[in-house]
Amino acid sequence: MTATRKVEYGGHLHRIANKPVKGTGARVTLMPDHPAIREARTLFPSRVVHPDDSPRLLVSGFNQRKIGGKVTKGRWKGLPLYTLTLEERATCPRSCGEWTTCYGNNMNWSRRHAAGLDLEARLIDEVVAMEQRHPGGFAVRLHVLGDFYSVAYARLWQDMLAEVPGLHVFGFTARQVGDPIARVIRAMNAEYPDRCVIRTSGVDSLVIASPAGSEHVLCPVQTGKTDCCGLCWTMDRPVEFVRH
Ligand code: SF4
């Protein structure tokens, strides 16, 4: 049986697994009956903000550890880099293989933006403003936390790729074959192969317990070799991330 311990987050005690798997480091693993698991939400609800209350949705990677302000390698080299963070689990499929071990469980300071029409309206404004600020193009990392949460939301990105030629997007999705949202994502990748690379978790990207278990290509950001470099959206082989 997995040992557990009680920890306090946001004034409440939570029961979490006590490093249940050898080699998984300090990643917080929530128990299946934890409210954040049952209610499909973040462990840190006070860090979810309405888009109207946020200074910006698209945040420069400049001040974010391991992201960096610009793409450093590959065909997008030099493009300014921004990130979008949504609420983990609330926007994700329950089939995600990291549902209880989501890296968001360790990201107590990240600002998550509440999903919905208000977010989508503001995204359009910010993407149009970015196009004017960066005539040579810009890249958006979708989603540091969270996922494509509806067909309409995925179609919004598809429409923005059509309307804003400088927009480049990359990231990972846990939406798998058979999910109607995944169909839109696949269409985006196919229609804009030079500007849209959304890879599928568990297929194109894998989570491994330790670097020693690597069988493909380990993300060089995780080994401290570089900031966000573009490897994961320019190679055909799966990229691996260590669960830490
Ligand atoms: S899809 Fe990503 S953000 Fe969502 S629960 Fe899974 S690991 Fe976390």
Atom of ligand 1 nearest to the CA of 102: 8
Helix (H) / strand (E) element for 119: namely helix 117-133
**Ligand 1 environment, Cβ below 6 A:** 88-89, 92, 96, 98-99, 102, 104, 145-147, 174
Give residue 234's pLDDT.
62
pLDDT tens for 228-242 read: 666 666 666 666 666
| Mutation probe of ligand 1 site: the residue of 44, 92, 172 with most atoms within 8 A of C-beta | 92
Domain boundaries in the chain? Answer: 4-242
Could you read off the pLDDT tens digit of each residue along the chain, which spans 244 residues?
445 555 554 445 555 555 443 334 567 899 999 999 999 999 999 999 999 999 999 999 876 766 778 888 788 989 999 999 999 999 999 999 999 999 999 999 999 999 999 999 999 999 999 999 999 999 999 999 999 999 999 999 999 999 999 999 999 999 998 999 999 999 999 999 999 999 988 666 666 677 777 776 777 666 666 666 666 666 666 666 666 5
Read off the pLDDT of residues 42-85 as tens digits, 9 standing for 90 and up.
Answer: 999 999 999 999 999 999 987 676 677 888 878 898 999 999 99
**Ligand 1 centroid vs 134 CA: distance in angstroms?**
30
pTM for this prediction: 0.82
- What's the 165 CA to ligand 1 centre distance in angstroms? 29
Return the structure tokens found at 84: 């979008």
Q: How far apart are CA 57 and CA 112, in angstroms?
A: 9
* b/e burial code for range 155-186 (CB count within 10 A of at least 16 → b): bbbbebbeebebbbbbbbbbbeeebebbebbb
Q: Is 124 left (phi over 0), alpha (psi -120 to 50) or beta?
A: alpha
